[in-house]
Amino acid sequence: MTHTVRRAQAADVPAVKAVTDAAYRHYIDRIGVVPAPMEADHGAEVAAGKVYVVDGERGGAPAVIGLVVIEPREDHLFLDSVAVHPDAHGQGVGRRLLAFVDEHARVLGLPEVRLYTNAMMWENQELYPRYGYEVVERRTDGLYDRIHYRKRLSAAPPA
């Protein structure tokens, strides 16, 4: 199945919140705080053009099934959040979203993508290196113990 990524619209804000909450909720007990993406102002992020979504089906009805929140910076593209609804796991949605982030950074002429994940989200520490990310540092930002990553991009996508 081909997953098309599109820029989120104002009408998508409730779905963006629902997918984000569903994707991150299970981490609350593990990390002891609400994950930062769940606390985001989704309306403001969508209005600012930072959110891109993938449509699919949930429960037989059309729905947003995944999303990324990205922000161009001077020397990199910051990947603030990746969320895939648990009902859509195993469909390649996350892989498609990460490929989109790389493509978008290249279009913008940015040489790398940066992100961070909570140190207690150990699944991500196994996932991101498989997609070319390397650990830059670990540091505490307020309530969050974060591992920072970067992915240096080649001028063209791999063949």
pLDDT in tens, 23-46: 999 999 999 999 999 999 999 999
Q: Name the nearest CA neighbour of 74 among 102, 44, 105.
A: 105
Using the predicted structure, report yes or no on whether residue 114 has a pLDDT greater than 50: yes
pTM of the model: 0.93
Torsion 103-109-111-113 (CA) sign? negative
Extended strands (E) in 3-91: 5-7, 51-58, 61-72, 77-84
Average pLDDT value for the chain: 94
Determine the pLDDT at residue 46: 98
Determine the pLDDT at residue 10: 97
Tokens of 20: 């984000």
Using the predicted structure, report yes or no on whether residue 96 has a pLDDT greater than 70: yes
